Structure 1
Amino acid sequence: MAKSFVPLTVVLCVSILPLAAMAVGTPFYIEGSVYCDTCRFGFETIATRYISGAKVRIVCKDRVTLKPEVVGKAVTGPKGKYRVRVTGDRQDQQCLAELVHSPIPGCRVADPGRSTATVILTRSNGAASTRHFANAMGFLRDRPLRGCAALRKLYLDDGDVRAI
């Protein structure tokens, strides 16, 4: 009985200790993208334009007090991509990536359905990766581009959108 217990202990130590060490000081990196919904459809399309220079922040709220804390900020680069470094395990806090600002005139109103993205900032759920991905977030263009009605028809008809 003692012989079978030793290998199990070794296996548990070898697999758990690296995760525990990573959880102590390794930061999370939240990655995502920001776009301008040029047709005001509420989702990304072939007419979508990704925004360089948009501002994003990561906000975590305590589940009991609901006190918000900004834990990271970023500005999107080319192709609308951002990466935010967040230190510390947020355990049971509710964390969101949030849109802050669009530099594009005529595309500065955050889409209410796509202005935030839930992010998980804990390793207590077994996640070992330091990279976490947020859903894309979008601003709405003031007026849809010409051609959006045809694009909508193609999407509704389940047609070939590559034809546009």
Structure 2
Amino acid sequence: MAKFFVVFLASALCFTTLLHFAAADADDFDRFHIKGSVYCDTCRVQFVTRLSKFLEGAKVKLECKGRENQTVTLTKEAVTDKAGNYQMEVMGDHEEEVCEIVLVHSPDAECSDVNNQEFLRNAARVSLTANDGIVSNETRTINPLGFMRKTPLADCPQAFQELGIVPDVTF
């Protein structure tokens, strides 16, 4: 009888511990860490080069909208650090919404013409649900978003030659 009681008590302890772990993991499914970077496309080629400049103080906004009626359900802003990186934490599952990180403001006067759409990749979609097949449900890393410089730098042709590419850009 004493063995039965010990086995029962040990089983109950293991089961309750398992429930606590499951509950903690379920809470983590509703918490997402978003990180990314913002740069100035100094060569106007729509990708990061050795001449690209990552922007401190650039502002980005997360915006989630309902798929059916396009009603905004969530907005959150972040500002880049000295290395041009931003981070934000979002709570809640947004499976039924379209969420995007959007460029809002550039601190660099040469790369700041948002009104005339003189920037590249002004938005990037992000999945904010644990029900999407992504193995890591905690962190969402966004591709770099960039503002396009009004005129390319003089060193750009040499940088392209080093890469062995001929961009579709006139210098």
**What band does the TM-score fall into relative to the shorter chain?**
0.7 to 0.9
Specify which of 110, 123, 128 is matched with residue 116 of structure 1: 123
Specify which of 125, 147, 157 is matched with residue 149 of structure 1: 157
Alpha-carbon distance change, 105 to 19 in structure 1, aligned in 2, over 3 angstroms: same
TM-score, normalization by structure 2: 0.74
Alpha-carbon distance change, 87 to 157 in structure 1, aligned in 2, over 3 angstroms: closer
Specify which of 54, 61, 68 is matched with residue 58 of structure 2: 54
Shift of 1:112: 5.1
Distance 1:155 1:82 in 2: 28
Give the share of equivalent positions with the same residue, in percent: 34
Structure 2: stretches of 5+ with no match in the other structure: 1-14, 167-171
Letter paired with 1:116: A
Letter paired with 2:141: F
Distance 2:44 2:119 in 1: 11
Alpha-carbon distance change, 100 to 131 in structure 1, aligned in 2, over 3 angstroms: same
SS at match of 1:149: helix
SS at match of 1:20: helix
1:131 aligns with 2:131: no
Which residue of structure 1 lines up, in the alignment, with residue 68 of structure 2? 64
- Tell me if the contact between 2:120 and 2:147 (Cα under 8 Å) persists in the aligned partners: no
- Tell me if the contact between 1:57 and 1:70 (Cα under 8 Å) persists in the aligned partners: no
Distance 2:67 2:151 in 1: 39
Structure 1: stretches of 5+ with no match in the other structure: 1-9, 159-164
String of CA shifts for 1:75-123, please: whole Å, max 9, x gaps: 0001100001112111121111110000101111355541111111011
Alpha-carbon distance change, 116 to 108 in structure 1, aligned in 2, over 3 angstroms: same
Which residue of structure 2 lines up, in the alignment, with residue 140 of structure 1? 148
Distance 1:133 1:87 in 2: 16
Aligned CA-pair RMSD = 2.3
How many corresponding residue pairs? 145
Distance 1:35 1:45 in 2: 10
SS at match of 1:78: coil
SS at match of 2:153: coil
Alpha-carbon distance change, 113 to 103 in structure 1, aligned in 2, over 3 angstroms: closer
SS at match of 1:39: coil
Distance 1:152 1:109 in 2: 25
Which residue of structure 2 lines up, in the alignment, with residue 22 of structure 1? 28
Question: In terms of mean alpha carbon deviation, does 35-44 or 66-75 score higher?
Answer: 66-75
Which residue of structure 1 lines up, in the alignment, with residue 169 of structure 2? none
- Tell me if the contact between 1:33 and 1:135 (Cα under 8 Å) persists in the aligned partners: yes
Distance 2:34 2:62 in 1: 9
